[in-house]
Amino acid sequence: MKNREYQQIDPQALATPTPTPPPRPLPEHKTKRARRKWEVFPGKNRFYCDGRIIVARQSGVLPLTLGLILLTSGLFFIFDCPFLVKHLTSCIPAIGGVLFVFVIISLLQTSFTDPGILPRATPEEAADIEKQIDNPAASSSSYRPPPRTKEVVINQQVVKLKYCFTCKIFRPPRTSHCSLCDNCVERFDHHCPWVGNCVGKRNYRFFYTFIVSLSFLTAFIFGCVTTHLALRSQEGNGLVFALQASPASALELVVCFFSVWSILGLSGFHTYLVAANLTTNEDIKGSWSGKSGNEDVGNPYSYNSLIKNCCSVLCGPMPPSLIDRRGFVPSDDSVQTSPVEIELPAAKNDINMVGRAVTSGRPPPPPPPVVTLQQPAISIQSHSTA
């Protein structure tokens, strides 16, 4: 067994130093390095920095967003600030700088943070759910049965939980499956192409900070540039000369003018959502507004207090990432130290039993029966950083 192997290998370990410092070296059939979970992640996401950064598959217009912000702010600092500092106050670049930093950092955080992705069900979980759903003596048809729903009462409201065929789970309340990212996301708000990521439970506060600070920044730049041009045209001979003297300002003016309305509008809209503890998804579908003809519906998640809603959405505790991107995949052969020979048949039996549930084409980690205990040990061995 593993123990015996361990004792045998120990004295011989001197001859063949293993790369990882294992108290329990992996069995002989480990030929390739242990892979991190992000490498086998089933959703359509891309990972950088060895799993530290996660983005959607299509980066959307994130480069454009970033480019526009950097360009406009850059032109502002280079061409407008010197004039304004001379004529007005040096607070202007300071304020602009702070806003700029807020915008960039919150944009990057929104784009690179896991929005609250729910990992897909393990095969045994999926089988367990299937058992509960399927009635005995059910149809022998091979077509996909109608969507399954489960009802639950939250705050005297009946909420339907839908079954997700891709992730093989009943979606928790407020969770939705994003087709672009192919993941179920908790408290799904929307998939934002401007930031190239979904906006969900974990990164909503970053997104809100981003749009609010961006509205301030845009309005600030717009105001400053207008002031700049006004002062110049007073000094000089009119607006045309002012524009000739500072052509960059014209570009900034155009960009800011066209974006400030939409961004201000978006900020206002999201402020309303925060105050009502709603998501964009729910608002658009009219889940709680009675559009579908239901009387007596109200948002069951709202605390019915403006302050409490705002605080719970923006200042609530930061939930952890559930997908453990940088964890190691318990592979078939190595898995957990212990009696591998005995584990494998068990795993195979489990897989056979849940055969129907295992439909994913990707290689999911097999259902390691002893993962609970082995994982801690393995983590200690092979995890350098989380």
Partner 1 sequence: MISAPRTATDRTKLPYCHESFHNLQELRHSASLANKVFIQRDYTDGTVCKFQTKFPSELDSRIERTLFEDTVKTLNNYYAEAEKIGGQSYLEGCLACLTVYLIFLCIETRYEKVLKKISRYIQEQNEKVYAPRGLLITDPIERGMRVIEISVYEDRGSSGSSSGSSTTSSSGR
Map the footprint of partner 1 across residues 120-139, applying CB under 8 A: 121-122, 124-125, 128
Please tell me which residue in 81, 167, 192, 198 is annotated as part of the active site.
192
* Closer CB to partner 1, 169 or 211, in the complex: 169
Minimum Å distance from CB 377 to partner 1?
5
Site string for partner 1, 266-305 (x = CB under 8 A): ----------------------------------xx----
- Classify the phi-psi angles of 342: left when phi > 0, otherwise alpha if psi is within -120 to 50, otherwise beta: alpha
Continuous H helices in 168-203: none
Does the footprint of partner 1 cover residue 45 (CB under 8 A)?
Answer: no
Interacting residue with partner 1 among 3, 8, 149, 244 (CB under 8 A)? 3
d(CA 86, CA 98): 20
Does the footprint of partner 1 cover residue 155 (CB under 8 A)?
Answer: yes
**Residues 162 to 201 in contact with partner 1, rule: CB under 8 A:** 169, 172-174, 186-187
Does the footprint of partner 1 cover residue 350 (CB under 8 A)?
Answer: yes
331 contacts 364 by C-beta, under 8 angstroms: no
Question: Which among 69, 5, 91 has a CA at the least distance from the CA of 210?
Answer: 69
- Classify the phi-psi angles of 296: left when phi > 0, otherwise alpha if psi is within -120 to 50, otherwise beta: left
The H or E element spanning position 306 is helix 306-314
Q: Which stretch binds partner 1 (CB under 8 A): 85-93, 97-105, 254-262, 358-366?
A: 97-105
* Closer CB to partner 1, 128 or 182, in the complex: 128
Strands (E) in 4-132, as ranges, are 45-48, 53-56, 117-118
Size of the site for partner 1 (CB under 8 A): 83
Q: Which residues contact 257 (CB under 8 A, 6 or more apart)?
A: 222
d(CA 249, CA 255): 10
- Establish whether 315 is a catalytic residue: no
DSSP class of 57: S
Minimum Å distance from CB 115 to partner 1?
11
Does the footprint of partner 1 cover residue 13 (CB under 8 A)?
Answer: no
* Closer CB to partner 1, 199 or 225, in the complex: 199
